[in-house]
Chain A
Amino acid sequence: MTEAPAIIEVEGVSKLFRVGKTEAVALQDADLQVADGQFVSLIGPSGCGKTTLMRLVADLIEPTSGRITVAGKTPKEARASREYGYVFQAPALYDWRNVLSNVMLPLEIMGYSKAKRRARAEEMLEMVGLESFHRSYPWQLSGGMQQRVSIARALAFDPKLLLMDEPFGALDEITREAMNFELLRLWSQTKKTVVFVTHSIAEAVFLSSHVVVMTARPGRISETIEVDLPYPRGTETRESERFFDLTTRVREALREGKEGAEVAAPGPERRPVAKAGY
């Protein structure tokens, strides 16, 4: 990765999770640089540390060793100054808020004025094509619509960086392709830097300017592949020969990474869900 200013710099970062008395290596010695305006996909098998890497960048967890810089700051500072928006695999909308006030939630927390947060939320909903669903509650929307609300919410406070952790993983293939087009449109419209975690090779190649291939046990970055398909991309992109070449390259990289992987205990990708009750 060349080009100027790097918005994310990850240098020699490792993350160990303690499971009982044993330690599991979730991420080992990862190096990554993401330049401003790039669309970078992280792809790899389960347990390769994609989500761990994202959470480290977002300062939802802290690295065991190594250094991370986000927009020139430590992750903690970056989070405090709201440098990124995070989109989870599940929409994580709040049941008790309608669509509009779900999008307004981050603005509320960040202390925007009432008029401003309303205007901003309406703008974002229009951008994702949900301007006629302001008053609907999340449970009244389809999965794809919910995820669009979630993206609108992540973009509401205009962060430099959009971290997307398998946002379309739970959607069916048809919706997923539609959402891919939508996302590319948003990306070209807003000029954000996007880091995108996915399991789908086609999705990674179709969306990204760079695909970062990761391997499991221990989780590490094995290769970065530049996707030189021209933007804007459309249906014909998926059918081009170059697209097939690139997907084949990614697939081979994944296979090589698997053959070269050492055997180790898999690290947990998600925190266990805390359930209380007597």
Chain B
Amino acid sequence: MAAAVPTASPRGKGRLAAALPVVAVAAIAIALMYPLALLLGLPLAKLRMDNVANWVRLVSAPHALAQAPSDPAAGAAAGTRLAFGGVGPDSSAERSVLVYGGEPLSARFDIIDGELVLEDALPGPLLEWGSALTPAGGGGLIYRLPEGASVEQALYLNGRLLLPGVSLAVERPDGVLNSFTFPDAESGPVLVNDKVLLEGEGFEAEGKHVTLDAPAPFNAVVSRVNGDYAPVDPATGTIVLAEPSGVAPRVADRQLSLGELLVGAVDGSNRVFQLQHVPLVESDPERRIMLDGAELSSAAERPQERVDGERATFTFAGDRGVVTVGGVEVLEGKDFTRSGNQITFTTRPARNAALRQYPDYLVSDPANGTITLATPPQPGSALWAASYTYYDHPACGATEFECFLTMPQHPMPFPHWIAKRIGPFLTAYPLTDSRNVVRATLYTAGGTLTALLFGGIFGVLLAILFVAIRPLESALLPWVIASQTVPIIALVPVLVLLLGKAGVTVQTSLVPAALVGAYIAFFPVTVGTVTGLRAVDPLSIDLMKSYAASPFQLFWKVRFPAAVPYLFISLKLGAAAALVGALVAETESNNRLGLGYAIVGQVQAGNVSDVWILLLISAALGITLVAIVGLFQRFIAPWELR
């Protein structure tokens, strides 16, 4: 009350200066979202990177002759240099074995700069040709193998070995997603399950990013050819080439190849060997461990008897093998004695312990690629791997940060990712479509304003009744308070059901949202208005009494106007409450309209960015609605806005 003549309001001037801190806080909040996104996302990215189940699986197989010799039947003389597909400069002769048709050869050799140099002469043939592949469409890209050939056999095009290879998509197909990233491929056809898509007819590519014309089916295998070719469908023997060829590739039925020797001493007593590529895929139908020309079995035998904790003697189908109890090897002579196909434990195995006998070998440590043989290989024999599957590298990227960037769902996306999504998200559907977000927002705004209108009127009437008739207040107030303790999430289904019985169809009507909104909006209005009506200065009432004013005049000229600022404060609270009510009602009413429904839909679809956008829209809607109430206040009750 100090200023004597404040004719001009100080508002208006410095409005910009007043907005500055608000903008600064928003900027700080947005900036803080970045470290927060990393804080929340990086541990998940690390989990994703460390989990070998998410790694790229590769099959290690013998390296076939890189160039078909001009006369395969002639063999090769000592000193001949041979190149093998996929053999690099770090390959060594000690870890390799020459194989022809599944049989290791005894010819000695050395590997120099990735090329094999024969020290002994090799008798022929070095390669036996099968038939040529038959074109199967795709503009010279797709070919079919001849009858009896498998996709694992070596293929040659113009005498040169073709190397297979695909890059798997980082994203997990959810049935909706149609854009994928292939970390190791920048050209070539795309495979969706066993369907071949060609660039320009099925997808558009931009570097590592590919946009399919149609979304990939849920859980489909989406990959892109990054070798010379990729097998498409083993059942029909179809392959797809990375680049089109007019000449059909040929399949080699047998060819000289370089196999991988297992690491370990072959001295007649050592049984533990290691594979060169780790970690191993434990359950691997591809794994073929060879001892000289024979394949070792990875099968396990179970005892014929139950492991009941009493029994010590068990019978197996075979009379040899590595015996394990609960995955741990037990030793003959120390832990058990063998008599034919019966073994007798010195200490009885515990009840229901897993007792197994591996006749040939056991993968004892898949992480380190260790296998344990039942019988030590004799000196001079070759223990080699014809093929096996291993985990090569994380599919999501080379670093934790790359894995973070390629995560399909971020607990908290970077703000600029959200910002980038706003445009496409808002315009994803035309305005005429009920799925359009602007439409949904307007629908929710309509529901909230209707709720606020009814809640406000009801709240004010109730407040007037309470103030006018005291006993009514003491009778009803506990129930009014109780009404607000009912969780609306439980109330909504009941309400929807009741409305359905009354013939109000939820699908087309604003009524559920308006009713639920009004239900929670009226309470603050009642409380605020009662407070306002009671908070009148007693002097004002005495003054009216001195004028001999009627109770009606007292109410309309003093009590009600005095309560108006309280009413507006409570209407602002009510607007926020009504929005919550309307949103919750929309999530439950299943009418496919409104922001509430959209939020639930995006949460279920896992589109975190879109959920954030919807949150921001909801917040903006709430602020707008409160501002609208404030605007009304400016026109109706300007005196309180000092």
Give residues in A with beta carbon < 8 Å to B: 58, 60, 79-80, 82, 84-86, 88, 90, 92, 94-97, 105-106, 108-110, 137, 139-143, 145-146, 157, 271, 273-278
Contacts and interface: CB of A to CB of B under 8 A. Distances in A.
A278 B484 CA distance: 14
Which of A85, A106, A145 neighbours the largest number of chain B CB atoms within 10 Å of its CB? A106
Interface stretch (B23-31, B46-54, B136-144, B634-642): B634-642
A94 B534 CA distance: 15
Given A82-B547, A276-B534, 18 more contacts: A84-B546, A86-B543, A90-B539, A92-B543, A94-B561, A110-B547, A139-B639, A139-B642, A140-B5, A141-B1, A271-B538, A276-B467, A276-B531, A277-B534, A277-B535, A278-B477, A278-B527, A278-B531
Contacts of B530: 276-278
Contacts of A105: 547, 557
A186 B542 CA distance: 24
A194 to B, nearest CB: 15
B208 interface: no
A86 B546 contact: yes
Interface in B22-76: none
A210 B40 CA distance: 83
Given A60-B546, A82-B547, A141 B539 contact: no
A92 B539 contact: yes
13 contacts: A58-B546, A79-B545, A79-B546, A88-B539, A97-B639, A106-B547, A109-B553, A110-B547, A142-B2, A145-B4, A274-B534, A274-B538, A276-B467
B539 A109 contact: no
A141 B4 contact: yes
Contacts of B543: 86, 88, 92
B545 to A, nearest CB: 6
B548 A79 contact: yes
B121 to A, nearest CB: 104
A137 B639 contact: yes
A149 to B, nearest CB: 13
A154 to B, nearest CB: 9
A82 B548 contact: yes
A273 B535 CA distance: 9
A137 B2 CA distance: 14
B3 interface: yes
Interface of B is mostly: helix
B6 interface: yes
Given A140-B3, A142-B4, A109 B538 contact: no
B56 to A, nearest CB: 65
Nearest to A88: B539
A142 B558 contact: no
B549 A109 contact: yes
Chain A contact residues, majority secondary structure: loop
Contacts of B564: 96
Interface string B612-642: 0000000000000000000000000101101
B547 A143 contact: no
Interface string B397-437: 00000000000000000000000000000000000000000
Listed from nearest, the 9 A-B pairs whose CB atoms lie closest are A276-B534, A92-B539, A86-B546, A96-B561, A96-B639, A109-B549, A109-B547, A106-B547, A142-B4
Contacts of B122: none
B544 interface: yes
B545 A275 contact: no
A75 to B, nearest CB: 11
B193 interface: no
B1 A276 contact: no
B542 A86 contact: yes
B104 to A, nearest CB: 91
Given A139-B642, A273-B538, A276-B530, A96 B637 contact: yes
A172 B549 CA distance: 33
B90 interface: no
B383 to A, nearest CB: 85
Interface string B501-538: 00000000000000000000000000100110111011
Contacts of A95: 562, 639-640
B270 interface: no
B269 interface: no
A82 B639 CA distance: 29
A268 to B, nearest CB: 13
Contacts of A79: 545-546, 548
Most buried by B among A94, A108, A157: A94
Contacts of A146: 1
A80 B550 CA distance: 11
Of B477, B537, B642, most A-chain CB atoms within 10 Å: B537
A96 B6 CA distance: 17
A275 B535 contact: yes
Interface in B453-493: 467, 477
Nearest to B640: A95
